[in-house]
């Protein structure tokens, strides 16, 4: 206790009213109100981006899947080639066949992958895939070339077939990997295949409009 003062006197000293508070004190007092009004817009923007933003920074409507900006993936480096083979696929007797060949070597994961710096495996490469060489098949080919450039055909993750992690896997755009049989369910005939793959490509932001750009 201060010399010569009762505890009541000391407490009273600190409870004195300030008649003309200095400028900085008044500013400080309104600060909580600023936060009160500023916070809701920030929260709104944060949740808006959380709901709509893809990992690559493009915005996608969760309902209609429309993509604003260009969606890109995390496909590791490799090669995509194609050529015509003079044979018909089951279900497409009137045309030849487009064969796609994907080749991706194993490597080290980049910052966009599940375990950056760790190695990844690449099983079953080169992977051969087939499309009928008709008008719709050629359109799908062109769109798949766009998907390849945007790194959307493959990704790195855990294979649902083998259970292996840190490996190259297909990325939501189905391919037909069997030519004359359909033992895996990824072969012909499949009358809906081209339409289905067009929908899958559209879900990645790849439509005919991309071919006009």
Give me the residues that bind ligand NAD (CB under 6 A), please.
123-124, 127-128, 159-162, 169-170, 174-175, 177, 184, 186
- Cβ proximity to ligand NAD, 70 vs 186, nearer residue: 186
- Least distance to ligand NAD, CB of residue 173, Å: 9
- Least distance to ligand NAD, CB of residue 110, Å: 19
- Cβ proximity to ligand NAD, 146 vs 156, nearer residue: 156
Q: Give the nearest residue (CB) to ligand NAD.
A: 124
- Least distance to ligand NAD, CB of residue 193, Å: 11
Residues 188, 174 contacting (CB under 8 angstroms): no
- Least distance to ligand NAD, CB of residue 43, Å: 37
Per the structure block, which two tokens stand in for 108? 């080290």
C-beta atoms surrounding 30 within 10 Å: 8
- Cβ proximity to ligand NAD, 127 vs 150, nearer residue: 127
Q: CA-CA-CA-CA torsion for 130, 133, 135, 141, nearest 10 degrees?
A: 40
Residue 173 and residue 203: Cα distance in Å, rounded? 9
- Cβ proximity to ligand NAD, 54 vs 177, nearer residue: 177
Query: Measured on CA atoms in the order 28, 29, 32, 34, is the torsion positive or negative?
Result: negative
Q: CA 131 → CA 24, 46, 85, 140, 151, distances in Å?
A: 73, 43, 10, 8, 20
């Amino acid at each position: 206790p201060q010399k010569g003062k009762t505890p009541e006197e000391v407490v009273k000293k600190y409870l004195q009213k300030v008649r003309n508070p200095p400028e900085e004190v008044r500013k400080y007092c309104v600060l909580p109100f600023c936060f009160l009004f500023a916070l809701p817009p920030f929260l709104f923007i944060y949740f808006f981006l959380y709901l709509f933003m893809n990992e690559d920074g493009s915005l996608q409507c969760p309902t209609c899947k429309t993509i604003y900006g260009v969606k890109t993936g995390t496909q590791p480096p490799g090669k995509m080639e194609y050529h015509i083979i003079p044979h018909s696929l089951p279900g497409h007797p009137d045309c030849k066949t487009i064969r796609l060949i994907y080749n991706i070597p194993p490597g080290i994961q980049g910052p966009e992958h599940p375990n950056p710096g760790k190695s990844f495996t690449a099983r079953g490469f080169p992977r051969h895939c087939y499309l009928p060489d008709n008008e719709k098949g050629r359109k799908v080919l062109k769109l798949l070339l766009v998907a390849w450039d945007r790194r959307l055909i493959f990704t790195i993750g855990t294979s649902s077939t083998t259970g292996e992690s840190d490996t190259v896997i297909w990325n939501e755009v189905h391919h037909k990997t069997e030519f004359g049989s359909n033992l895996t369910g990824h072969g012909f005939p499949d009358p809906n295949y081209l339409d289905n793959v067009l929908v899958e490509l559209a879900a990645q932001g790849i439509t005919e409009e991309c071919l006009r750009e």
